[in-house]
Amino acid sequence: MSYSIAIDGPAGAGKSTIAKKIAKKKGFIYVDTGAMYRAMALYLIRKGIKPSESEKISKACKDADITISYENDEQIVWLNGENVNPYLRTEEVGNMASASSVNKDVRIKLVELQQKLAATNQVVMDGRDIGTCVLPDADVKVYLTASSKVRAKRRYDELTAKGEACDIDAIEKDIIERDERDMTREMSPLKQAEDATLVDSSDMDIEQVVEAILGLCK
Ligand code: DC
């Protein structure tokens, strides 16, 4: 098994920003598992399937061929041969990803892909169930979190920078709902692995978090 770093935590905790920087410093590949769930969600949205239609989701997910590749250190997610990166970061896709990721067939399919990637590459992988389920033997496990207020502000800044109109209170409400769904689902809920180190980034800047995690790798 290759060396692996698992970073789990709720939406907006800064996982992807931090994981990307750590991957660059270590020369590992960064695997954004949320993007895989988002690609699956996009596929389901395009099929007109609703979050509540679990049987349809189980059936349809089998026809979604999701793969990833890397270009200039950036992860590209391919959905049935199409680069879907430009469509993954909307609130609609995020909410559908949270809803459809409770589905067992969706999880089995994507976890298998994630484990294959980690078997042949040194990875920094982020998600919700990496330390608990995907890579239970990861060399370093981090549970990265921040208060819902801080997370909502970060998401708000990200969306407004892209020119998307949004409301900070609605974003915080969405974040709290998504946390609740991710933490209480039956299969692989979001929780801190027993052997993970808790890092609360509410009052830390990016470099401080990166340094803290690199310290754990020594
Ligand atoms: O990290 P993100 O916001 O891109 O993830 C979108 C959704 O995907 C999230 O609400 C829950 C789900 N997800 C998951 O269930 N397991 C993972 N390892 C990663 C994401």
Q: Average pLDDT of 82-110?
A: 94
Question: Given this model, what pLDDT does residue 72 score?
Answer: 87
Per residue in 41-95, pLDDT (tens digit) is: 999 999 999 999 999 999 999 999 999 999 988 899 999 999 999 999 988 999 8
Contacts of 1 (CB under 8 A, 6+ apart): 118, 119, 137
Q: Average pLDDT of 88-114?
A: 94
Query: Any idea of the CA torsion for 187, 114, 124, 94, to the nearest 10 degrees?
Result: -60
Q: Which atom of ligand 1 is nearest to the CA of 8?
A: 18
Give domain 7-14+128-218's CATH architecture.
Answer: 3-Layer(aba) Sandwich (3.40)
CB 113 within 8 A of CB 39: no
- In the chain, which residues fall in CATH 3.40.50.300? 7-14+128-218, 29-120
Single pTM value for the model: 0.92
Question: Given this model, what pLDDT does residue 91 score?
Answer: 83
Name the band, by pLDDT with cuts 50, 70 and 90, for residue 183.
Answer: very high
Residue with tokens 């598992």: 33
What is the third-level CATH fold of 29-120?
Answer: Rossmann fold (3.40.50)
Ligand 1 pocket list (CB less than 6 A): 11, 33-34, 37-38, 94, 97-98, 101, 127-129, 178, 182
Q: Identify the residue whose C-alpha is closest to ligand 1 atom 11.
A: 98
* CA-wise closest residue to 33 among 75, 71, 62, 1: 75
Outline where DSSP puts E strands in 137-176: 140-145
